[in-house]
Structure 1
Amino acid sequence: MQNPPKLSDGKIPIFVFPTSLTFYTDDQASHKQVLTLYNPYDFALKFKVLSTTPRKYTVVDSEGTIRPRCCVDVVIRHVDICMNNEGVKDKFRIQVSEYGQRKILGKKDVLSVLFPKKETGPQTEENFHSLPHNCINNFLQVNFIFTGRSGTGPSYIIIFTAIMCIAALALPTQGDKLESKWPDYLHLSFSQKLIAAYILGEFG
């Protein structure tokens, strides 16, 4: 059995997915979001969800316990959908402590934004254009060396990795009791999803 991580410094990584919440005024289905909190450790964690604007949200089970190597879902509803709140950036803070202890071991902030229409939300698509054939290899080499950045453009490697992590988290988990239409090899383990959540969190 592995020894638990040292907690003397009061800091441990917090694993949360998604790393931001997006609500849309014209999409009622988006007014309810789910945050998944992961506990990869061998001891139970106690969590608490805080908000910079608690009057605008209701949180189901804003406090609770995450058993070792398990996860919990926290349902968040936006209850103040109006024009005045569109574009305003709020934050949720997830803070955790060891079960039975008061000392905060870690925390993570999750951004929350309300957009007027779904098509006006954050865009993940990039506009790609063809390059001259003799420039493609040089471009790829330079893009890789400089962490995938060209000028002020985004890193295509990071975008691709983020998309793959999101897809991994959307796939069913091994051992799910619900019937799934996905083949067995697309049922990921808890550890695999945890790694995807961690990588995605690093991009946030």
Structure 2
Amino acid sequence: MQAGWALQGNIPVFVSTTEVILYAGDPRKHTSTVTVLNPYDIDISYQVFSTVTGDEKYTVVEPHGSIKPKHCKDFILRHNAPYPSNCGVVDKFRIKIYDNTTKQFLGKTTISATLQAGLPPKDDTTPSLSSAKSSRVEKTAQNQTEIAHKASCPQRRTENPNYPFIISLGVVCFCAVILFPTDRTSCQGDPSSQYTLTDHTKCICTFILGMVALTIFRP
């Protein structure tokens, strides 16, 4: 099917834009990038022709080249005479594509370039500022989320329904280890000698006390 198109020499030429707007008041807007696309299954070559009188008015960077199937390539259109007398003038450029193997002409299209006076609209002049502002907002939101997460960690431990029981258990085990003597340290004349703990019981209390401490002070 593409062979038939090639013989007719009128297959569509796909470009990113057919109308280029340049602005005399902003040096950054004296240039524009145009993309030539190759949606076909063959290698093509393109060439940009200017219909403008006087070759010094524009500079075309990469005015010709080859494009692989399903690929694209850019060329840059630069206005060299952004003077008031040139504002409002519509200039034409013709893009032709060829079969890169047979050099047979396949199709063409035309794009226009117009130099406007003054500056571009604000939406066109401040994309970088908007991007920077959005980036700052995202970073601020991320920092606030991290702070809130850190602040909520102790709160989540406090809101644990078992937290009071764990504290109480730790206090009981601490008192058992510190206050109550063991069987071998009790004295006959000591009235509190009836309240004694075995070494095995104190070891268990010490182990429980350590687990309680880990639960309370874990990050």
Could you state the TM-score of these two structures normalised by the residue count of structure 1?
0.55
Q: Measure the CA separation in 1 of the matches of 2:46 and 2:39.
A: 14
Cα distance in 2, alignment partners of residues 84 and 100 from structure 1: 44
Structure 2 equivalent of residue 167 of structure 1: none
Where 1:8 maps in the other structure, the secondary structure is helix
1:5 CA drift (Å)? 4.6
**2-structure distance, mates of 1:37, 1:111:** 15
| 1:63 has 2:64 as partner | yes
Amino acid at match of 1:68: P
Distance in 2 of aligned mates of 1:83 and 1:4: 46
Equivalent-residue separation in structure 2 for 1:119 and 1:19 (angstroms): 18
Other structure's SS at 2:115 match:
strand
1:16 correspondence with 2:15? yes
Does 2:38 correspond to 1:39?
yes
1:83 matched to 2:59: no
Q: CA deviation at 1:118?
A: 3.2
In structure 1, how many angstroms separate the alpha carbons of the residues matched to 2:13 and 2:3?
13
State the 1:119 CA deviation. Answer: 5.5
Aligned to 1:183: none
Q: 5+ residue gaps in structure 2?
A: 122-219
Report Cα offsets for 1:22-62 as digits up to 9, x if no partner: 11110111111000000000101110001112321111110
Is 1:48 matched with 2:58? no
**2:100 corresponding residue in structure 1:** 99
1 or 2, which has the higher helix percentage?
2
Partner Cα separation in structure 1 for residue 30 and residue 110 of structure 2? 19
Q: Is the 8 A contact 2:57 2:81 kept in 1?
A: yes
Cα distance in 2 for residues equivalent to 1:19 and 1:98: 22
RMSD of aligned alpha carbons:
1.9
**2:111 counterpart residue number:** 110
Instruction: Say whether the 8 Å CA contact 2:15–2:34 is kept in structure 1.
Output: yes
The one-character-per-residue Cα deviations of 1:105-144 (angstroms, maximum 9, x if unpaired) are 1000001100112369xxxxxxxxxxxxxxxxxxxxxxxx
Q: CA deviation at 1:101?
A: 2.9
In the alignment, residue 10 of structure 1 is paired with which amino acid? G
Work out the CA distance in 2 between the residues paired with 1:80 and 1:73. 22
Residue equivalent to 1:26 = 25
Q: Distance in 2 between matches of 1:91 and 1:4?
A: 28
**Distance across 1 between alignment mates of 2:44 and 2:18:** 19
For 2:93 and 2:102, the matched residues in 1 are separated by 22
SS of equivalent to 1:12: coil
Q: Aligned letter for 1:52?
A: T
**What residue in structure 2 maps to residue 166 of structure 1?**
none
Instruction: Give deviations 1:127-166, integer Å, cap 9, x for gaps.
Output: xxxxxxxxxxxxxxxxxxxxxxxxxxxxxxxxxxxxxxxx
Residue identity opposite 1:98 in structure 2: D
Structure 1 counterpart of 2:73, one-letter code: V
Offset at residue 103 of structure 1 (A): 2.9
- Corresponding position of 1:150: none
Which structure: larger Rg?
A: 2
Aligned length: 119
Distance 2:102 2:89 in 1: 35
Relative to structure 1, the CA distance from residue 60 to residue 83 in structure 2 (aligned partners, 3 Å threshold; closer, same or farther) is same
